[in-house]
Amino acid sequence: MFPKGTKRKFSDSREEPVAGGEDVNQSSLAAVRMLSSYSLQRQSLLDMSLIKLQLCHMLVEPNLCRSVLIANTVRQIQEEMTQDGTWQIMTQALSAANAAAQCSADRLVATEVLCRQTEAAQGEQVPKPFPVVGSEGCPAEEVLEEEEEAAAAEVGMTMSTVSPQAPTSYLPGTFGMDPCWEEEETGEDDDDDDEEEEEDSEECGSGSEGEERERDSLVEDTRTAEQVFGTFEIKNPAPSPDPALEELFSDVDASYYDLDTVLTGMQSVPKMGPYDLLESLSSHGPSPLSSSTSCRSDLNELDHIMEIIVGS
């Protein structure tokens, strides 16, 4: 089980001479802090990548090479998080949070998601649709029409179906986890959360906030991510850029220097490299396309729906 970061206690921050037994505790605590800092920053990288996949569509025509590289990076992170068990924790936390949020009138749609049932190692690919949750219209969100779902089938990383009134959203696939992320959107609250999260990423070891960050990293998308790849085949109209997105990330800069050192230095964590996983999975050929509008063919368990918190 991936160790969750623990909240820094007052006594921890002081460098006090301790007895031998406490030395062990301190060093393991330091290791835990380091790992939680790594997971925080890995999460930052995931969020950043998801944003990029969205923003890139705002340009004249997305650069396919860039999109593919970002998508591959997201896959790597997802795979590693799955192996760590972080993915499961996150999805469970998110579903719990979402259940609480369900009653709010401002809550947005959840969408139908295709998820892999079995362990990644087995490589079995069984699409499992999730029930569509009733949706509330949200004026700030784009509406994805059902005709575009047919287009979604052909390309790209995300699949979602949406009732015509509902805003689109993307849920990241999980590896065998039942509740997928469902989006949760409260506009301002999310902005605040994100600002907190940015501050958190600079303070290593604030573990409980880190957990919240993971839990709150719901992503909500206004465009199908298959548009990232799919514009070339079937075009979906590009929505206008979302200023909230830019505002959200406008002050993210120096914190990523920390991200650099942590991420480039800490690559020994996964036992099996992401590409080993990818190889074993892709060797099992594509599943046939489902003709049902409610069931998208997701041939690569890495290509799952991701949402980005937009902020209304």
Partner 1 sequence: SCCVGDSTTLHSADIISTVEFNHSGELLATGDKGGRVVIFQQELESKNQPQCRGEYNVYSTFQSHEPEFDYLKSLEIEEKINKIRWLPQKNAAQFLLSTNDKTIKLWKISERDKRPEGYNLKEEDGRYRDPTTVTTLRVPVFQPMDLMVEASPRRVFANAHTYHINSISVNSDCETYLSADDLRINLWNLEITDRSFNIVDIKPVNMEELTEVITAAEFHPNQCNTFVYSSSKGTIRLCDMRASALCDQHSKLFEEPEDPSNRSFFSEIISSISDVKFSHSGRYMMTRDYLSVKIWDLNMESRPVETYQVHEYLRSKLCSLYENDCIFDKFECCWNGNDSVVMTGSYNNFFRMFDRGYRQDVTLEASRESSKPRSVLKPRKVCTGGKRKKDEISVDSLDFNKKILHTAWHPQDNIIAVATTNNLYIFQDKL
Contacting residues toward partner 1, per CB under 8 A: 42, 45, 48, 52, 60-61, 63-66, 68-69, 71-73, 76-77, 154-157, 226, 229-233, 235, 237-238, 252-253, 256-257, 259-261, 263-264, 267, 273, 278, 282, 286, 289, 297-300, 303
H or E element that contains 114: strand 114-116
The long-range contacts involving 280-285, CB below 8 angstroms and separated by at least 24 positions, are 280/120, 280/121, 280/123, 281/120, 281/123, 281/125, 283/123, 284/123, 284/124, 284/125
Nearest distance in Å: CB 129, partner 1: 17
Nearest distance in Å: CB 173, partner 1: 12
DSSP 239-250: PPP-HHHHHHTT
Nearer to partner 1, 210 or 230 (CB): 230
Nearer to partner 1, 187 or 239 (CB): 239
The whole-angstrom separation of Cα 274 and Cα 124 is 17
Secondary-structure percent of the chain, ordered helix, strand, coil, rounded to 5: 45, 5, 50
Nearest distance in Å: CB 68, partner 1: 5
Rg (CA), the chain: 20
Nearest distance in Å: CB 161, partner 1: 15
Nearest distance in Å: CB 265, partner 1: 8
Nearer to partner 1, 4 or 66 (CB): 66
Nearer to partner 1, 186 or 293 (CB): 293
Nearer to partner 1, 12 or 258 (CB): 258
Nearer to partner 1, 37 or 231 (CB): 231
**List of residues 6+ apart from 115 with CB closer than 8 A:** 127, 128, 130, 173, 174, 176, 177, 180, 298, 304
Nearest distance in Å: CB 273, partner 1: 7
